[in-house]
């Protein structure tokens, strides 16, 4: 009778541990998928940019695009923080940081071009107003 009670106690303890492990594994998986998804939104918001479409009549669209890129930038940062918190594997955590850094470099390059174009368009607007 005592032996059966001990066995049941051990079984329930083991089941609890398994549940915690499964739940953690699911959260890890969700954090990684969320990071990869937001990181790709960020990347494609940069790749989609076509500077040919902007002119002095739609500078606001260019500013909106810059805002959108910034939004994905911060969302990816938040998703990365979740990975750091939940994922046990150090290599994955480090690769997440490296990937974030690579996209940030790409973003800086694109940002510079967008700012340069914005400046040109603003000068064009001022010049047109003077004329």
Partner 1 sequence: MNLLRQGNNVDKALLENAANKERELKLKKQKLIQDFNSNKVAEYKKTVSTDHQFTAKVKSYLTH
E strand intervals along 5-129: none
What is the per-residue binding string for partner 1 in 7-46, x denoting contact by CB under 8 A?
----------------------x--x---x------x--x
Give the Cα separation of 22 and 18 in Å (integer).
6
Q: Would you give the end-to-end CA distance of the chain in angstroms?
A: 100
- Name the strand (E) or helix (H) holding 57: none
Smallest separation (angstroms) from partner 1 to the CB of 79: 13
Contact footprint for partner 1 (CB under 8 A): 29, 32, 36, 43, 46-47, 49, 51-52, 89, 91-92, 95-96, 98-99, 102-103, 105-106, 109-110, 113, 116-117, 120, 123-124, 127, 130-131
């Amino acid at each position: 009778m005592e032996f059966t009670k001990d066995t049941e106690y051990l079984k329930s303890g083991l089941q609890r541990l398994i549940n915690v492990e499964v739940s953690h594994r699911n959260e890890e998986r969700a954090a990684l998928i969320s990071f990869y998804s937001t990181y790709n939104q960020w990347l494609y918001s940069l790749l989609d940019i076509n500077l040919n479409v902007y002119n002095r009549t739609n500078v606001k669209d260019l500013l909106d695009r810059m805002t959108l890129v910034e939004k994905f930038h911060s969302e990816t940062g938040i998703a990365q923080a979740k990975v750091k918190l939940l994922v046990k594997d150090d290599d994955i955590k480090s690769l997440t940081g490296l990937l974030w850094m690579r996209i940030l470099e790409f973003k800086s390059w694109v940002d510079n071009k967008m700012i340069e174009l914005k400046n040109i368009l603003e000068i064009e607007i001022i010049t047109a107003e003077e004329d």
